[in-house]
Amino acid sequence: MSHHIAIVGAGPSGFYAADGLLRGDPAVRIDLIDRLPTPFGLVRAGVAPDHQGTKAVTRQFDKLLAQPNVRFRGGIEVGRDISWEALQAAYDAVVVATGMVIDRRLGVPGEDSAHVWGSWRFVGWLNGHPDFRRGPDLSRVKRVAVIGNGNVAIDVARVLAKSADEMAKSDIVAEAGAAIVAAPVTEIEIIGRRGPEHASFTNNELAEMGRLARAVAVTDAAALDAAVPATDPTPERLRKTRNLEILKGFAGNAPGSKPITLRFCFHAPAETLRLEDYDLVVTCIGYGGADFPKADGVFPVGWAKRGPSGTIPTNRADSHAVAQHVLAWLKANTPKDGPPKDFVDPLPDAVDAAGWQRIDKAEVAAGAAEGRPRVKLTDWAALLKVAKG
């Protein structure tokens, strides 16, 4: 009898774990469980809506969903609809690919004000996550602070700065897209607590900020006279050196030469900022994860294992390595040479792959009418209704 494995979380690391398990043992049976009725986790809800090229990775995941040994079980929250204990008892192994689920806190006064948003909520709103249907009121927002020097900060600042034309081929939710374009934003500060030589922006993402139609990227040249840490590994040194070159290009730009000035500010820890000086603050300073049992036979993967770092491709190698480990553990602990046990499905009613395909089809059809990749369903009830056909 083949092994039966539950993967909790149908984001990139969950799919890559399924891929790794099937490559190592094509007979393995996998239930890919997700809290949402839709698969793809951060690819759907986290990757910026204008970066459709990055979202194209879902085509690989679709192929996995079509495999006979893989079942999608959406709309099931482990801990609410089924306990971790029941899951552990029913499956030979449990892979935890739940990623990160909450915004890290800044820990400064004023961060609970209505105009301060964590990027988890903010990006969830842009991306039509059904838990985050209400966004900030942007109708009087002129000055924005985006706190953090990673790619999430870049995503947030870029989407706020882009024109309607630049967002036309995105799948941003209509309400968010309209609110951003109508907002009277003139200044967006991207604020790092350390110097530019420590920023974790990747080169392409940073360079894109210099090519925006209605925003000019600027920075203070004085902050750029910095040395990349010599102890960093070579790829990091190359990335940071290139970042400094790109920023030097921005330092020559004239603030105010386009409707929005996108200002990179460094050496400004949150304690030194006055959050009330801004009309909107978006903190992009990392995420926290959800709890899961640390037990034999339970294998965390992706962000649930490593914390919120690394791009989608990073998760492929990581998940494949964990999959090898799971298979080796199964071989040693549940060799399955006895009589086959009858598997009793422990999961409650769920959205299956066909249900997700109905959602996908409806969204893509609605998008086609507007020349967009899709128009997302953002309401829990509507998602479940369409999934059920």
Segment lying near ligand NAP (by CB under 6 A), choices 191-199, 254-262, 291-299, 348-356: 191-199
Q: Distance (Å, rounded) from C-alpha 167 to C-alpha 215?
A: 14
**Is residue 205 within the footprint of ligand NAP (CB under 6 A)?**
yes
Binding mask 130-169 for ligand NAP (x = CB under 6 A): -----------------xxxxxxx-x--------------
Nearest residue to ligand NAP by CB is 150
Residues with Cβ within 8 Å of residue 42, at least 6 apart in sequence: 11, 12, 99, 312
- Position among 110, 259, 286, 346 found at the interface with ligand NAP (CB under 6 A): 286
Residues with Cβ within 8 Å of residue 223, at least 6 apart in sequence: 195, 196, 266, 267
> What's the closest the beta carbon of residue 187 comes to ligand NAP, in angstroms?
19
> What's the closest the beta carbon of residue 176 comes to ligand NAP, in angstroms?
17
Q: Distance (Å, rounded) from C-alpha 2 to C-alpha 25?
A: 9
Partner residues linked to 143 by β-bridges: 187
Q: Distance (Å, rounded) from C-alpha 207 to C-alpha 59?
A: 27
Radius of gyration, alpha carbons of the chain: 22
Rank residues 69 and 151 by Cβ distance to ligand NAP and give the closer one.
151
**Is residue 194 within the footprint of ligand NAP (CB under 6 A)?**
yes
Judged by CB under 6 A, the number of residues near ligand NAP is: 24
Q: Distance (Å, rounded) from C-alpha 24 to C-alpha 325?
A: 10
**Is residue 272 within the footprint of ligand NAP (CB under 6 A)?**
no
> What's the closest the beta carbon of residue 67 comes to ligand NAP, in angstroms?
27
Buried b / exposed e along 255-284 (16+ C-beta atoms within 10 A): eeebebbbbbbbebebeebebeebbbbbbb
Q: For residue 167, how many C-alpha atoms fall within 13 Å in the half-sphere facing its CB?
A: 24
**Is residue 270 within the footprint of ligand NAP (CB under 6 A)?**
yes
> What's the closest the beta carbon of residue 228 comes to ligand NAP, in angstroms?
14
> What's the closest the beta carbon of residue 35 comes to ligand NAP, in angstroms?
20
- The residues binding ligand NAP (CB under 6 A) are 106, 147-153, 155, 192-194, 198, 200, 202, 205, 270, 284-286, 308-311
